[in-house]
């Protein structure tokens, strides 16, 4: 257990950041899942629209530091390749 005032504050702020970052990652996963369900359904137009909505979300995650830049790029690349193959 923390004894210093600064350590107690750090525990509080870490908990808050974990909550916010968890929400961000969850939101990104939801957007990616929408693209994947559209691909699985074979609806190319819906998949493209879903990808257009997911792209800024992934980049926002990179900017916030919850995703690595290359990870976001790889996910977008693979999703767009799967859409193109439809």
Burial of 47 (0-12, 13-18, 19+ CB in 10 A): buried
E strand or H helix at 30: helix 5-41
Instruction: Give the residue-averaged pLDDT of 38-45.
Output: 94
Residues 51-60: tens digit of each pLDDT: 999 999 999 9
Query: Which letter does DSSP use for residue 68 in this model?
Result: -
Query: Which CATH number fits the domain that encloses residue 35?
Result: 1.20.58.110
**Mean pLDDT rounded to a whole number for the chain:** 95
Question: What average pLDDT does the segment 26-40 reach?
Answer: 96
Provide the number of structural domains found in the chain.
1
As a whole number, mean pLDDT of residues 33-56 equals 96
Q: Which domain holds residue 23?
A: 5-84
**Position 26 confidence tier, pLDDT thresholds 50, 70, 90:** very high
> Looking at residue 2, what is its pLDDT?
85
Q: Which tokens hold the place of 73?
A: 């790029």
């Amino acid at each position: 257990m923390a004894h210093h005032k600064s350590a107690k504050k750090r525990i509080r702020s870490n908990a808050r950041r974990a909550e916010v970052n968890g929400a961000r990652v969850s939101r990104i996963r939801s957007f990616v899942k929408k693209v994947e369900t559209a691909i699985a359904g074979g609806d190319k137009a819906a998949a493209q629209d879903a990808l257009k909505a997911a792209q800024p979300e992934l980049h926002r995650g990179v900017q916030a530091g919850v995703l690595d830049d290359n990870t976001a790029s790889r996910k977008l690349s693979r999703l767009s390749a799967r859409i193109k193959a439809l």
